[in-house]
Chains A and B, each alone.
Chain A
Amino acid sequence: MTTLLVLLLLIAGAYFVAVLEAWISNGRFRLAAPLYATIALLGRESIVPRKPDRIFFEVGPVLLLLSALLAATVIPLTPDLIITELATGALFINAALVYVLVALLMAGWGPDGAYAMIGGWRFLGQLIAYAMLIVMPITAVAMRAESLLSTQIVVSQLGLWNIIYQPLGFVLFFVASMALAFLPPFDMMIAKGELAGGVEAEYTGARLAVFRLGRLVLIITLASATAIFYLGGWQGPWLPPWAWSAIKILVVTATMLLAGRYMPRIREAHLLSWCWMLGIPLALINILIVGILVLEFP
């Protein structure tokens, strides 16, 4: 029952992201547009390119959706609304999301097309840039909670949210999750207007629909993860817990989409040097500061 409810909420969230993304990128607010787009995609023929690596070509979009869904299973929307409570929850989110990379490599390699392949390998370069900036801030979050349980992490922020307790970690995690969800300005692997869709280029019809759904679910999953790691999850005054979760997730999603709107696209090599020369030292400093805070002001 919980599983079904969370899945429905994720689909609703993905729909919302699609509406919001269109609103932010082309300025038109149309509630029904994703519905029409879905019907159009499902109605079109799904072309298989010549000489594909058939297994990768078929598995790629499904794996993208699957890894985003798996990461969502350990995210608590209210104290009770969580699919499975894992003792390694915070680590599991990251473990599931690493398979986004595998999915994009498969989708890039599978169709045997130059643009798609370049897109796929670009994402590998991007992963090497952002991966540490996902793990290290989570480490600091888990340090404060003294647990990897995702509900425990939310409870540990009672009174003071992590965005205030460790703002440095929040900024790093926020940027890294935008890179993980290949949102603009980190969308070199899709790169509309340059790579002709990149990883998406050879997909059409139902397969493309699955791929795009996977990306939308990924965005909403990452926004939920940000909300429970840094914004106190379901906590807040007056309103019921589910409402606070919803508000926070929507605000984070909107911020992610808006932030990308006003920035130039960043090449993965530049991202790599920024992340390793600035990001990782900052993440280590964040761990040090949080360690001192945890020991001194428990």
Chain B
Amino acid sequence: MMTAQMFFIAFFGLAAVWFGIVVFRTFSMVRSALALLFSQTALGAMFLSMQAEFLGVLQIMMMATEMSIMAIFMVMFMMDPGGLGEMEMTHQKRLSLVTGFVSFVAAVMIAVFVDWGPMANTFPDAAQQTVDLGLELLGRSMLIFEMAGITILTAMIAATAVAIQPAKKVSQ
């Protein structure tokens, strides 16, 4: 059981990394967006392998819509959405290299050096997990989630307001 679990976590982890790489290997915007989707789906499958059923299903569900919507925006705004012209669409390469490397090192350091505490031997079954999660969201963590929700909503309204062209005055 334990080895099977480890195998699937490793498999989906590698799949997530591979699809993450594909995002930058391809020139096609739709391929890129859907590669990111499958990277996120693989993360959801990792949650499932770790028996966090609700989180896994939620991740798999949410990402499909989000990445598809991202795909249409990428197609609308990029000059060569099909990637057939093999146009160069990257920029600030040195900055992104440095940032990427630093975040990678930081993530590894956190994973290795943080004291994660003892490994849990018993955990509630999937139905109980859902109940616990619901109680947590509507209790102790409610304020945090409401704040996050309102912040995102404000950002969405602001982004839409910025994107809309001001109505031109009709000159007679």
Contact = CB atoms under 8 A, between A and B. Distances in A.
Contacts of A105: 30, 34, 68, 71
Nearest to A92: B57
B39 interface: no
Contacts, number: 64
A88 B69 contact: no
Interface of B is mostly: helix
B30 A109 contact: yes
Interface in A83-103: 86-88, 91-92, 94-95, 98-99, 101-102
Nearest to A147: B127
Given A87-B126, A88-B130, A95 B68 contact: no
A91 B130 CA distance: 11
A121 interface: yes
Nearest to A99: B64
B61 A86 contact: no
B130 A127 contact: no
B14 interface: no
B88 interface: no
B61 A101 contact: no
Contacts of B57: 86, 88, 91-92, 95
B68 A88 contact: no
Given A87-B129, A88-B53, A127-B68, A95 B61 contact: yes
A86 B53 contact: yes
Given A87-B127, A87-B130, A102 B34 contact: yes
Interface of A is mostly: helix
A53 B129 contact: no
Given A105-B34, A121-B72, 7 more contacts: A53-B31, A87-B125, A88-B126, A99-B64, A101-B65, A102-B34, A124-B69
A91 B69 contact: no
A139 B144 CA distance: 22
B18 to A, nearest CB: 14
Contact of B61 (A87, A94, A127): A94
Contacts of B30: 53, 56, 105, 109
B56 to A, nearest CB: 8
A53 B60 CA distance: 24
Interface of A: 51, 53, 55-56, 86-88, 91-92, 94-95, 98-99, 101-102, 105-106, 109, 112, 121, 124, 127-128, 131, 147-149
**The 7 A-B residue pairs with the shortest CB-CB distance in the complex, in nearest-first order:** A87-B126, A95-B61, A98-B64, A87-B127, A88-B57, A109-B30, A95-B57
A87 B65 contact: no
A101 B68 contact: yes
A121 B33 CA distance: 14
Nearest to B127: A87
A61 to B, nearest CB: 16
B58 interface: yes
Contacts of A149: 127
Instruction: Give the one of B34, B60, B61, B130 with max A CB within 10 A.
Output: B61
A273 to B, nearest CB: 16
B72 A101 contact: no
Given A105-B30, A109-B30, A91 B61 contact: yes
A225 to B, nearest CB: 15
Contacts of A102: 34, 37, 64, 68
A148 B69 contact: no
Interface in B117-167: 125-127, 129-130
Contacts of A53: 28, 30-31
Instruction: Give the one of A51, A55, A88 with max B CB within 10 A.
Output: A88
Contact of A148 (B37, B64, B65, B130): B130
B36 to A, nearest CB: 12
B164 to A, nearest CB: 17
Nearest to A135: B61
Contacts of A88: 53-54, 57, 126, 130
Contacts of A95: 57-58, 60-61, 64
8 contacts: A86-B53, A86-B126, A88-B126, A91-B58, A105-B34, A112-B82, A124-B72, A131-B65
